[in-house]
Amino acid sequence: MNIRGLISSLALSAVLLPPGLAADPQPPAVPNGEQLYQEILAEAAVLEKQGSLLKKVVQLATPSVVHIQTIKTNQVSYNRRTRGEEGSGVVIRIGSGLYVLTNRHVVDEASLANINVRLANGRLLHPVNVISDRRTDVAILSVTGDDLTFAHLGDSNRVDIGDFVLAVGSPFGLSHSVTYGIISAKGRRDLELGDGSIRYQDFLQTDAAINPGNSGGPLFNLRGEVIGINTAIASSSGGSEGIGFTIPINMAMTVAQQLIEQGRTSRAYLGVRLNDDFSETDAARLGLSHPQGAMVTGITADTPAAKAALQIDDVIIEFDGHRIDDDEHLIQVVGFTAIGKAVDLVVLRRGKTVRLQVTLEDRSRYESDG
């Protein structure tokens, strides 16, 4: 039998097969509209059960978030100019007191009488005192009132890239708006923000939508805990482009506690000048394969660095157990280390690893940090 005859025979046998023995099964029946709707309801119920966590986090978090309105006055030559500004904040508890934690730039240049704090329930408060730190852009407002809801605080050291987060604030004056995203990056430093006075930077980066008015508001994890204070956005349009920066809550709380307890911040001092343009050429000259750590270019006499026998061209690669990325990282880590603490250093010196110990002193003994 030729090929054409074989094909014809097979086709005929397929047609003559008795019912139920057909070679090809019948296509599945398409569910009708009601059946499909019921299937969707069942599957949506599973997702909604998981999604209810977000609703509960929002219900827990939003009562602690406040909307801040200020009127600021600038003296320019002989003219007095006023402008309004809006931001956000979060009620926190330190010791037995309740305070509003926010950004300095939200309340800077505004008198107490011109700062309005509006709670989630619409109640209006005026702070009785404001203390701030320009080097971190953190401010603390002392408030009094009954039935204030304070936020639960998380541990920003445990935050990882990819963690889900929620930002709550007042973008464009729309109070208690909630946006959702992830942690996009950690350890963002050397950002050009505002007037350049924010010296101590260790920002978390998030793609949760942050817009003007979110400044000073909290970033929450999925436990409903504050892990950061939203501070700035990177934007060419002035609106959210998915790149927002948040002060880690551990840093913000260290500053807040010092402001409350001392009325100012106190920071540790090492006493070195660093190369802020540590290049491949510098690294090769020092016997390194690539720039790493913080390169020392100068040492101030009679400082902790001098007493510890640090040398020019030393490259600090580890400080108090922290692997140092660059000069900005070292500045941040030193500034938030306890004054008087004896710290172990690991430096690269002419191609060799050297271990030193340095006892940090108060920066105010050597220079102003204002």
Pick the CATH number of 152-262 from 2.40.10.10, 3.50.30.30, 3.40.50.620, 2.40.50.100: 2.40.10.10
- Is residue 143 over pLDDT 70? yes
**Exposed/middle/buried for 79, CB within 10 Å: 0-12, 13-18, 19+?**
exposed
Instruction: Given the residues 67, 105, 176, 329, select the one marked as catalytic.
Output: 105
Asked if 272 and 296 touch (Cβ cutoff 8 Å), the reply is: yes
Q: Which residue has the tokens 């490259």?
A: 315
Assign domain 268-365 to a CATH class. mainly beta
| 215 is an active site residue | yes
Select the more confidently predicted residue: 9 or 49.
Answer: 49
Tens-place pLDDT, residues 156-191: 999 999 999 999 998 887 888 999 999 999 999 878
Does the pLDDT at position 354 exceed 50?
yes
Residue-wise pLDDT tens digits, 226-271: 999 999 877 666 666 779 999 999 999 999 999 999 999 999 999 9
pLDDT the model gives residue 236: 62
- Please indicate whether residue 137 is annotated as part of the active site: yes
pLDDT digits (tens, 9 = 90+) for 309-326: 999 999 999 999 999 999
Taking 50 as the threshold, does the pLDDT of residue 13 lie above it?
no
Which CATH fold would you assign to the domain 62-142?
Thrombin, subunit H (2.40.10)
> Residue ranges per domain, the chain?
62-142, 152-262, 268-365
Of 228, 233, 253, nearest to 193 (Cα)?
233
**Helix (H/G/I), strand (E/B), else coil: 44:** helix
Share of the chain above pLDDT 70, in %: 86
Catalytic residue among 137, 202, 207, 327: 137
Q: Cα separation of 123 and 149, whole Å?
A: 12
Q: Work out the end-to-end distance of the chain between its first and last CA atoms, rounded to an integer number of angstroms.
A: 100
Single out the catalytic residue among 176, 215, 329, 369: 215
Are 62-142 and 152-262 in the same CATH fold? yes
Q: Is 152 a catalytic residue?
A: no
pLDDT(105) > 70: yes
pTM: 0.80
DSSP state of 303: S
176 sits in the region (left: phi over 0; alpha: psi -120 to 50; else beta) called left
